[in-house]
């Protein structure tokens, strides 16, 4: 065996690094946003009022909510007739090392500060979800429920990729403070809060609350990573119950072709239709020249929400159904929408609801978000739909029919003119036939 004196110093240095390298790196699932995404618009990845987890903890502009966290912990102790937080601190210390391993980036908090943060953040979230559903628990002076803009802003911050706390920490505090109320279920409470505060979010755009709760009965809390992961898992789980897994895998692996924008597809005879029944956002269907899409609402927080979900999907490496459903859905929208005319067409069909004002604003937002979405050519959720649309667009009969409709049947007056011409032609033919019959009858006589 070689002594250290005979070993290359570069080898020694690299061996030391490999020795220090944690074998638990694979446990990390809470990251910071990559600079490639952050530089485009840093504010969309930063909390506005609420810090959850260590990455944004202690920032000056978020201190107001830190007082609310302390207030919620005090009310929890009072409700349970407890005078000390000691047993909760002990529970958090037991989870401390496991929780630290969930964060991929360095944390500046020391161990005591980290434990304190775990308790305050988990208590705040659990109590917030409870108070939202179980209204009798609310304090009449609680400003979070008196000022309209606060709850949506909190929800926006809970969707941030960096602003997360391991879900098992919430489960631990929830189990230690469980109520007798039948609604006191941590997963259901989180879903009810998310759906009720903002029904226009990605997974709940067209699904009712009860359908979501029913679809999520099979989700185990031990498989939930954090709040953002829960909402993504809800979408994936709901999708798996509506579409066979084998069909999704087969479709995703097909090579797909890009499709034209909505107005160009409309010109070749493709019709756009809003789904009539409650359905999952990604459940897009194409049949007999009709593209059926659930309604999607675009509002001021759409860019922030989509960017953070896409960031999560880019780091989420597990093989799971609907793994990159948001990225793929964004690719679908960006293919269909190139101009304000495309937005107008989809809006008139009831597929898009524009809460931003002008249709150009929708185009601008989608162009910005599209820069952070990467869709592999052989792994796309809508591969079959795209290929079917492309094949339909290339059929000559469909093109000719669309041209006839566009050139001769694009208004009531052209239709009336066409019918008039047909009627005139029929009358002319009838008159000619009678003239020929009269001629032969006269010769016969």
Residue range of the domain that includes 338: 241-401
Domain count, the chain: 3
Do 427 and 360 lie in one domain? The reply is no
In a domain, 206, yes or no: no
On whether residue 15 sits in a domain, the answer given is no
Whole-model pTM: value is 0.81
Higher pLDDT, 113 or 201: 113
Band the pLDDT of 43: cuts 50, 70, 90: very high
**68-125: pLDDT as tens digits:** 999 999 999 999 999 999 999 999 999 999 999 999 988 999 999 999 999 999 999 9
Cβ burial of 295 (10 Å; 0-12, 13-18, 19+) is middle
Q: Is residue 94 situated within a structural domain?
A: yes
- Asked whether residue 228 is domain-assigned, the answer is no
In a domain, 351, yes or no: yes
Same domain, 86 and 67: yes
- Asked if 388 and 430 sit in the same domain, the reply is no
Residues 172 and 63 in one domain: yes
> Is 236 within the bounds of a domain?
no
What is the structure's pLDDT at 242?
56
Are residues 118 and 152 located together in one domain of the fold? yes
pLDDT band of 208, cuts 50, 70, 90: low
The answer to whether residue 192 sits within a structural domain is: no
Q: Answer yes or no: do 426 and 371 share one domain.
A: no
Q: Summarize pLDDT for 247-305 with one digit per residue, the tens.
A: 555 555 567 788 889 998 988 888 999 887 655 667 788 998 899 998 888 888 889 98
Whether pLDDT at 170 is above 90? yes
Per-residue model confidence (pLDDT) at position 262: 92
Please indicate, yes or no, whether residues 176 and 264 belong to a single structural domain of this protein. no
For 307-358, the pLDDT digits (tens) are: 998 999 888 755 554 568 888 888 899 999 999 999 999 999 999 988 888 8
Does 263 fall in a domain? yes
Residue with tokens 């999607």: 296
Q: Does one domain contain both 67 and 93?
A: yes
Mean pLDDT, the chain, integer: 82
Whether residues 159 and 270 fall in one domain: no
For residue 1, name the pLDDT band (cuts at 50, 70, 90). Answer: very low
Q: Which of 132, 149, 182 is the last residue of a domain?
A: 182
Last residue of a domain, one of 162, 182, 202: 182
Answer yes or no: do 383 and 417 share one domain. no
Q: Mark which of 163, 182, 201 sits at the end of a domain.
A: 182
Span 351-403, pLDDT tens digits: 998 888 889 999 999 988 888 877 777 778 888 899 999 888 877 555 555 55
Same domain, 253 and 172: no
Same domain, 261 and 384: yes
pLDDT at 202: 44
Q: What percent of the chain has pLDDT over 70?
A: 78
């Amino acid at each position: 065996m070689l002594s250290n004196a005979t070993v290359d110093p570069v080898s020694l240095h690299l061996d030391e690094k490999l020795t220090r390298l944690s074998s638990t790196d694979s446990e990390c699932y809470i990251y910071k946003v990559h600079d490639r995404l952050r530089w485009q618009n840093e504010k969309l990845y930063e909390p506005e009022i609420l810090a959850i987890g260590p990455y944004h903890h202690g920032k000056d502009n978020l201190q107001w909510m830190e007082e609310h966290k302390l207030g919620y912990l005090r009310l929890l102790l009072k409700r349970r007739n407890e005078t000390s937080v000691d047993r909760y601190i002990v529970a958090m210390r037991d989870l401390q090392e496991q929780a630290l391993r969930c964060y991929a980036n360095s944390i500046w908090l020391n161990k005591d500060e980290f434990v304190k943060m775990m308790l305050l953040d988990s208590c705040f979230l659990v109590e917030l979800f409870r108070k939202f559903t179980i209204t009798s628990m609310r304090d009449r002076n609680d400003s979070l429920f008196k000022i309209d803009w606060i709850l949506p802003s909190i929800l926006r911050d809970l969707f941030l990729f960096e602003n997360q706390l391991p879900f098992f920490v919430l489960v631990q505090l929830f189990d230690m403070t469980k109520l007798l109320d039948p609604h006191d279920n941590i997963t259901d409470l989180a879903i009810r809060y998310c759906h009720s505060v903002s029904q226009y979010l990605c997974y709940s755009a067209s699904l009712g609350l009860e359908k979501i709760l029913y679809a999520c009965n099979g989700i185990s809390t031990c498989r939930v990573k954090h709040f953002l992961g829960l909402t993504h898992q809800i979408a994936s789980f709901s999708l798996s119950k509506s579409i066979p897994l084998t069909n999704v895998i087969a479709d995703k692996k097909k090579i797909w072709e890009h499709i034209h924008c909505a107005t160009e597809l409309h010109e070749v005879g493709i019709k756009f239709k809003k789904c009539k029944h409650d359905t999952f956002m990604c459940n897009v269907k194409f049949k007999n020249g009709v593209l059926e899409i659930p309604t999607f609402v675009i509002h001021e927080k759409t860019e922030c929400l989509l960017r953070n979900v896409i960031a999560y999907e880019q780091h989420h490496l597990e093989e799971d159904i609907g793994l990159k459903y948001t990225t793929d859905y964004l690719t679908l929208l960006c293919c269909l929408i190139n101009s304000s005319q495309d937005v107008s067409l989809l809006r008139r069909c009831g597929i898009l609801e524009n809460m931003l004002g002008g249709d150009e604003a929708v185009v601008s937002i989608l162009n910005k978000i599209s820069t952070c979405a990467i869709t592999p050519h052989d792994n796309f959720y809508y591969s079959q739909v795209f290929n079917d649309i492309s094949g339909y667009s290339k059929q000559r009969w469909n093109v000719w029919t669309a041209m006839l409709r566009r050139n001769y049947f694009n208004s009531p007056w052209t239709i009336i003119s066409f019918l008039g011409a047909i009627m005139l032609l029929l009358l002319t033919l009838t008159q000619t036939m009678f003239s020929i019959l009269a001629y032969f009858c006269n010769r016969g006589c």
